[in-house]
Structure 1
Amino acid sequence: MKLAIMQPYLLPYIGYFQLAAAVDKFVFYDDVNFIKNGWINRNRILLGDQVRYLTVPLSCASPSLKINQVLVEPRERWLRKLLESIRHAYAKAPHYPQVSTLIGRILAEPLAQISQLASHTVMEICKYLEIDTEFVPSSTKYGNAQLQGSERVLDICAREQASTYVNLPGGRALYDSEAFSARGVTLAFIEPNLCPYAQFDNAFHPALSILDVLMFNSKDSVRDMLRVEVSA
């Protein structure tokens, strides 16, 4: 069984979904410390020919809190404005009608914690793309928050009886393949495929939110983009 573990990100870039599609089970690491100015409550979109941030406002966000302790501000304060930003950015994109409806429904879900909302964006888009990976929040299952780093990852792998732990490339600097091998787990990686696609008549901007990918590409085309190789 292939397993991945990532913090829940809001409408993350396609590499996150390539990782999700490459594994059997995906753990949202939602009970680790919140990181300000990261990807938990924001991502990047293309507005005109400029890259801009799309942000969900938070209430009392602090690095001293776990991700699943940070609350989203009431939706009446931000949802309409955020959806309007998406309309301004992508109203002329070929797949705007169906994707804007999907995103509006996802973001309107009354979820109080940013961990819940960010995870929800990932799971609902995976459902739309017909990715059948199983998702689970780390806070609800493992009871091992006292562990840190690779020890906690290996403990989760053991509990899930995972044979392979799959990472994005940044994990190469964090984990020792011999330590995983000693516990009967293969440490593997994917290389995100950020293949260019037409973004109106602009020069291509890679690694934007999955929202950008969906606006300019059919569902079948996006599913093709998700196929990446898993290697040690």
Structure 2
Amino acid sequence: MKLGIMQPYFVPYIGYWQLMNAVDEYVIYDDVNFIKGGWINRNRILVNDQPKYFNVPMLGASSMKHINEVGVNNDPKLIRKNLDQLMRAYSKAPYYDKVFPLMEKILTSEKENLAQYNAESFRLINKYLGITTKLIVSSTLEKDCTLKGQDKVLEICKLLGATEYYNAIGGQELYSFADFRQQGVKLSFLKTEPITYDQFGGEFQPNLSIVDVMMFNSVDTVREMLGRYQLVCK
């Protein structure tokens, strides 16, 4: 069984979805500390041909809290502000009529914490894109929470019976091929190949949110993009 484990990022770039799509089961790592200035509560969309941050309004955000302890501010005015930002940015995009209602469901989900909010967005976007990977929430697993880093990941692999573990290419320095092999788990790193598409005819801005990808591409095209990666393994 192929397993992936990642923190729940907010509408992340396509490489995140490639990893989720490539594995059989995917653990939403919600019981680790929230990282300020990261991708858990924000991503980037295209505004006037330039990347601009698109944020989840939060309550009580702190690096001392777990992701599932950070609240979401569901003030209707803030939700409307985000929807208006998307409308202004993408109303002329070719797949706006399909993707805007999807984003409206995500932004109005009324989930109370950031982990639930992002997990719900995964379920909705996966349904739209036809991704069938089983999602598991980390905090529901009975594991040794005193473990850290690689040791905690290996325990989750053991609990779920994983024979292969996929991680994003950026985590190469965090994990040891030998240590995983010793535990009977094949370690692989997913490296996204260059992906480009037309964005209103301007200079291409890479690695924006999956929202941008979906606004400019059909589901079939996005699904083809999900396979554009290489696996680095030993």
Q: Equivalents in 2 of 1:194, 1:39: separation in Å? A: 21
Aligned partner letter, 2:152: R
**Structure-2 residue corresponding to 1:187:** 187
Secondary structure of the corresponding residue to residue 78 of structure 1 = helix
- Residues 93-120 of structure 1 show CA distances to partners (whole Å, capped at 9, x for unaligned) of 0000110011101221120001111121
**Structure-1 residue corresponding to 2:231:** 230
RMSD: 1.0
Is residue 30 of structure 2 the alignment partner of residue 25 of structure 1? no
Q: Equivalents in 1 of 2:74, 2:122: separation in Å? A: 21
Q: Percent identity?
A: 46
Secondary structure of the corresponding residue to residue 155 of structure 2 = helix
**Structure-1 residue corresponding to 2:108:** 108
Equivalent residues of 1:21, 1:131 under 8 A apart: yes
TM-score normalised according to structure 1 size = 0.97
Q: Equivalents in 2 of 1:59, 1:177: separation in Å? A: 39
Q: Equivalents in 2 of 1:231, 1:203: separation in Å? A: 30
Equivalent residues of 2:30, 2:67 under 8 A apart: yes
Secondary structure of the corresponding residue to residue 12 of structure 2 = coil
Equivalent residues of 1:2, 1:25 under 8 A apart: yes
TM-score normalised according to structure 2 size = 0.97
Q: Equivalents in 1 of 2:35, 2:77: separation in Å? A: 23
Secondary structure of the corresponding residue to residue 205 of structure 2 = coil
What does 1:136-175 correspond to in 2, within 5 Å?
Answer: 136-175=136-175
What does 1:59-78 correspond to in 2, within 5 Å?
Answer: 59-78=59-78
Secondary structure of the corresponding residue to residue 26 of structure 1 = strand
Secondary structure of the corresponding residue to residue 110 of structure 2 = coil
Secondary structure of the corresponding residue to residue 10 of structure 1 = coil
Equivalent residues of 1:15, 1:194 under 8 A apart: no
Secondary structure of the corresponding residue to residue 191 of structure 1 = strand
Gaps of 5+ in 1: none
Gaps of 5+ in 2: none
Aligned partner letter, 1:67: I
Give the C-alpha shift of residue 131 in structure 1. 0.8
Aligned partner letter, 2:114: I
Aligned partner letter, 2:111: L
212-221 vs 194-203, greater mean Cα deviation: 194-203
Equivalent residues of 1:31, 1:68 under 8 A apart: yes
- Residues 67-87 of structure 1 show CA distances to partners (whole Å, capped at 9, x for unaligned) of 000000123141100000000
184-193 vs 83-92, greater mean Cα deviation: 184-193
**Structure-2 residue corresponding to 1:219:** 219
Q: Equivalents in 1 of 2:22, 2:76: separation in Å? A: 37
